[in-house]
Amino acid sequence: KGDVKIRDSYADLKLKILKPNQTIPIWINIYDTNYTSFKVKEPIYTTPIRKPEAQIFPHLEFSQTEMKAKSGFYAVSGIVENSNDEKISGSFFVIFYDEKSEIVGIESTSFANLAKGEKTKFEVQEYETDMFGKPKTFEVIAISNR
């Protein structure tokens, strides 16, 4: 009830780079009380990225992607193919959405040395919680380490 003021807080972010015009919600948990919105005062510290968008977000082709509810979690799996000219390492981030298209979770897994023309399977798991709703759809974003 009322406002909660937090000073000098820090949290490790799962998704550290956003696509242009992409927004994500931020959830915080203070003493087992979950907040889904908050206000921030300036300044917000950011680190500028000095790489072209094509280097950050590699062109990878995803196929046979599906989400399955398993015992206690949801799993997104599929096949990814590198269509670039060089080996790529990085992470796959899966953004889970509920029936209202609101984000209910973000999970990731890493990949290493995916060569041109190479295909590999991937799976990302989101553990089931009732805090934000159940996943109904998903989006996969690849971010390169180069």
For 8-60, write each residue's pLDDT tens digit. Answer: 555 566 666 776 666 666 666 555 665 555 555 555 556 667 777 777 888 89
Give the tens place of pLDDT for each residue, 98-108: 888 888 888 88
Instruction: Say what the pTM is.
Output: 0.70
The amino acid at residue 12 is D
Three-class DSSP labels, 87-137: CEEEEEEEEEECCCCCEEEEEEEEEEEECCCCEEEEEEEEECCCCCCCCCE
Tokens of 135: 């996943």
